[in-house]
Amino acid sequence: MTANGTKNGAVEIPYKIYLSENEIPAYWYNVRADMKNKPAPLLNPGTHQPMTAEELSGVFCDELVQQELNNTDPYIPIPQEIRDFYKMYRPAPLVRAYCLEEKLQTPAHIYYKFEGNNTSGSHKLNSAIAQAYYAKKQGLKGVTTETGAGQWGTALSMACSYFGLDCKVYMVKVSYEQKPFRREVMRTYGASVTPSPSETTQIGRKILAEHPGTTGSLGCAISEAVEVAVSNPGYRYVLGSVLNQVLLHQSVIGLETKTALEKYDVKPDIIIGCAGGGSNLGGLIAPFMGEKLRGEADYRIIAVEPASCPSFTRGVFAYDF
């Protein structure tokens, strides 16, 4: 399919789908390299000093620790094995929302980047495959994680089965009960899925004793997953959002969007993303923010968050140990 059907005199296609194996980014873009004010570092909860690579290596894979702490390299090569995997579902389509434009009666041209076109169903796979790859490369047996609604757990299960890694998922109990299909998809990929809090960890037993009947929380599931990772040789913990490394992997979203818009000869005025833990937003805006930071271009960037759990517009910005 051509990206410029009209220019070639062909019939105008309602959805300009951008597909080209060659336009999958070969590098992730690390926006922190271009930031003058670097983000606050991760602190060791005991000493309140910045976490060292050595301290982090008990929890995370070595290569991912390097990425987590890398504030200097703007471009980090994407290993060929990961690019081969991306090739199965990337580049993700950049779609023109003609009907929405019409409904809104707006002169604006609205495009959206659709990240749902992979088996796991979300952008989470972009980072899951990278994290599973580095775990495998390090010779680990498996990884542990938490999942809420289940997108991250599903993506990670898929990535782990691809590389033959064991995957232990702690799923917030209320979601485990409400979303049986997500749970079973993870199991189909060979992951073990445990409702959290559970009796399988010390912290889980403590939480159950103190709050009998609790339906769980992400924080509780994270605690269980971290405990299992640090107490089992050959295991590390992985996380689907929030971390620097995840935003780095998700930069493929923004890089592809930028390439596609350039191909359409469109310069965006406003870039909007939804923010939960910040990974799809961070990935989408990364290369545009880079241009802004380097003074090469200006964009208005808008983060949208749920009113039910706002982390940007309300609450305090503080460390939480």
* In the complex, least distance from residue 12 CB atom to ligand PLP, rounded to whole angstroms: 30
Helix axes 202-210, 218-231, angle to 10 degrees: 150
- Of 64 and 140, nearer to ligand PLP (C-beta) is 64
**Nearer to ligand PLP among residue 278 and residue 290 (C-beta):** 278
Output the smallest distance, CB 188 to ligand PLP, in A.
19
- Give me the numbers of helices (H) and strands (E) for the chain, helices first please: 12, 10
- Least distance from C-beta 162 to ligand PLP, angstroms? 19
User: Exposed (0-12), middle (13-18) or buried (19+): which is 72, by Cβ within 10 Å?
Assistant: exposed
The least distance separating ligand PLP from the CB of residue 281, rounded to whole angstroms, comes to 6
Nearer to ligand PLP, 140 or 160 (CB): 160
Residue of this chain nearest to ligand PLP (CB atom): 276
Tokens 């979300």 appear where?
122
Buried/exposed code over 262-295 (b: 16+ C-beta within 10 A; e: otherwise): eebeeebeebebebbbbbbbbbbbbbbbbebeee
What is the binding site for ligand PLP (CB under 6 A)?
A: 122, 124, 151, 241, 274-281
Shortest approach of ligand PLP to residue 121 CB, angstroms?
8
Let me know the angle formed at the C-alpha of 168 by 164 and 173, rounded to the nearest 5 degrees. Answer: 145
Question: Within 13 A of 51's CA, how many CA atoms are on the CB side?
Answer: 20
Nearer to ligand PLP, 140 or 225 (CB): 225
Closest to ligand PLP by CB, 4 or 313? 313
